[in-house]
Amino acid sequence: MTKRWISQRKQDGYYKLAKKAGYRSRSAYKLKQINDRYNVISSGDTVVDLGCAPGGWLQVAWDIVGPGGTVLGVDIQRIDNLEGVRFIRGDVTKTKTLEEILSLISKADVVLSDMSPNITGHYSMDHAKSVGLAESALEIAKKILREDGNFVVKVFQGDLFEDYFRTIKSNFSFTKAHSPKASRKQSSEIYIIAKGFKG
Ligand SMILES: C[S@@+](CC[C@H](N)C(=O)[O-])C[C@H]1O[C@@H](n2cnc3c(N)ncnc32)[C@H](O)[C@@H]1O
């Protein structure tokens, strides 16, 4: 993190809002905006959040599902405990992690993935790694989502995007590529909203 990056972050409106509201990340606003628009998570849902650290999306999901719902986060990085939320420390590309998820929940209503690879600065490499993570997220979603369940996944845009999007389209009845207002203007990230898993 350079001094410039730190000072830019402090001037960022969503960063300030997140700090004030007690969210662990400014990304929390991306999920809020996505849910306000596409209604992917409902009260009482079981939500699995892949790549959940430090936990902003977990906080938002937990608020939406309420006391009758379940939220399970997965990340290779540790997170500070969040009351009510379950957590698995694991790599989504490993079969063992899927087994651990299935040992805690039988079916999910919603699978989220805000996973990002370690950024190298080489655009095509970062894009390819992001699509690789998005593919792992889709594989997990296909195994744990109930029929008609919803999936939200982040992907860095690039030449592999269309193929990936096509695969999503064949598995869900509604799909949309969407950039929430809280995404930084210079970011290449885009979120795919996929509803109505065909099973
Ligand atoms: C942008 S952060 C997620 C922020 C989160 N949505 C929030 O609101 O706090 C991306 C996360 O993806 C995780 N990640 C990257 N590769 C992963 C993998 N193979 N398995 C699990 N998590 C991974 C990173 O450790 C990082 O915490």
pLDDT for 187 equals 86
Task: State the average pLDDT over residues 127-153.
Answer: 98
| pLDDT of 90 over the 70 cut | yes
The conformation of residue 174, written as its DSSP 8-state character, comes to E
The conformation of residue 118, written as its DSSP 8-state character, comes to P
Ligand 1, atom 20: nearest CA belongs to which residue? 91
- 24-197: CATH topology is Rossmann fold (3.40.50)
Burial class (CB in 10 A: 0-12, 13-18, 19+), 186: exposed
User: Is the shortest distance between the CB of 54 and ligand 1 below 6 Å?
Assistant: yes
Burial class (CB in 10 A: 0-12, 13-18, 19+), 178: middle
| pLDDT of 1 over the 60 cut | no
| pLDDT of 15 over the 80 cut | yes
**Which residue's structure tokens are 């063992």?**
96
User: Is the shortest distance between the CB of 115 and ligand 1 below 6 Å?
Assistant: yes
Q: Which helix (H) or strand (E) holds 103?
A: helix 95-104
What is the overall mean pLDDT for the chain?
94
Angle value at C-alpha 87, between 41 and 133, nearest 5 degrees: 70
Respond yes or no on whether the N-terminal peptide bond of residue 54 is cis (omega within 30° of 0).
yes
Nearest atom in ligand 1 to 56's CA: 8
pLDDT for 55 equals 98
DSSP 34-69: HHHHH----TT-EEEEES-TT-HHHHHHHHHH-TT-
- The 10s digit of each residue's pLDDT in 37-73 is 999 999 999 999 999 999 999 999 999 999 999 999 9
- The 10s digit of each residue's pLDDT in 154-192 is 999 999 999 999 999 999 999 999 999 999 888 899 999
Nearest atom in ligand 1 to 136's CA: 19
Query: How many percent of the chain have pLDDT more than 90?
Result: 89
Domain ranges of the chain: 24-197
